[in-house]
């Protein structure tokens, strides 16, 4: 498994780079309808949010992997006809190994929202990886 001395963003940065290359996207952290996204489609500026889970993170179980999303960001993404790229990966000493990925239009997801989170102040949801793959 990965080195516990890695910076918090080490694996996330590798997932983002993989998605940008694999889906031919450009990094763009601009706000869309008041929410920050991760990337965009270069041809049309369509926003993309990247969500990832590590199947072998310490303390986690592969069959319980979940993608966390927030209502404010989801609403902004759906309004802009944007989409998510969901990524499942394995932590490795030298980075990551993607085991599955899928792009999904935000507006096509049926989401059960629950309690607000702080400091974000918006409802959240957890989508099981098993429902997407």
CA-based nearest residue to 53, from 110, 105, 129: 129
pLDDT at 63 (0 to 100): 60
Decide: 61 and 53 in contact? Cβ < 8 Å: no
> Containing domain of residue 70, as a range?
10-132
Answer yes or no: is 120 within a domain. yes
Answer yes or no: is 53 within a domain. yes
Answer yes or no: is 45 within a domain. yes
CA-based nearest residue to 109, from 131, 93, 90: 131
Answer yes or no: is 2 within a domain. no
For the chain, the domain total comes to 1
Answer yes or no: is 75 within a domain. yes
pLDDT at 35 (0 to 100): 92
pTM for the full predicted model:
0.88
CATH code: domain of residue 56: 3.40.210
Note the pLDDT tens digit of each residue in 17-72.
999 999 999 999 999 999 999 999 999 999 999 999 998 765 555 567 899 999 99
Note the pLDDT tens digit of each residue in 72-121.
999 999 999 999 999 999 988 888 999 999 999 999 998 999 887 766 77
Answer yes or no: is 4 within a domain. no
Answer yes or no: is 71 within a domain. yes
């Amino acid at each position: 498994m990965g080195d516990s001395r890695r910076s918090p963003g080490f694996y996330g940065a590798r997932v983002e780079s993989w998605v940008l290359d694999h889906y031919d996207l450009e990094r763009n952290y601009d706000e869309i309808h008041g929410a920050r996204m991760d990337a965009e489609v270069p041809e049309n500026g369509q926003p993309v949010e990247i969500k990832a889970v590590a199947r072998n993170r310490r303390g986690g179980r592969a069959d319980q992997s979940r993608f966390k999303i927030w209502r404010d960001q989801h609403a902004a993404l759906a309004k802009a006809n944007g989409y998510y790229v969901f990524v499942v990966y394995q932590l490795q000493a030298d980075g990551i190994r993607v085991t599955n990925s899928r792009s999904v239009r935000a507006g096509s997801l049926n989401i059960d929202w629950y309690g607000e989170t702080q400091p974000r102040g918006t409802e959240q949801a957890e989508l099981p990886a098993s429902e997407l793959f």
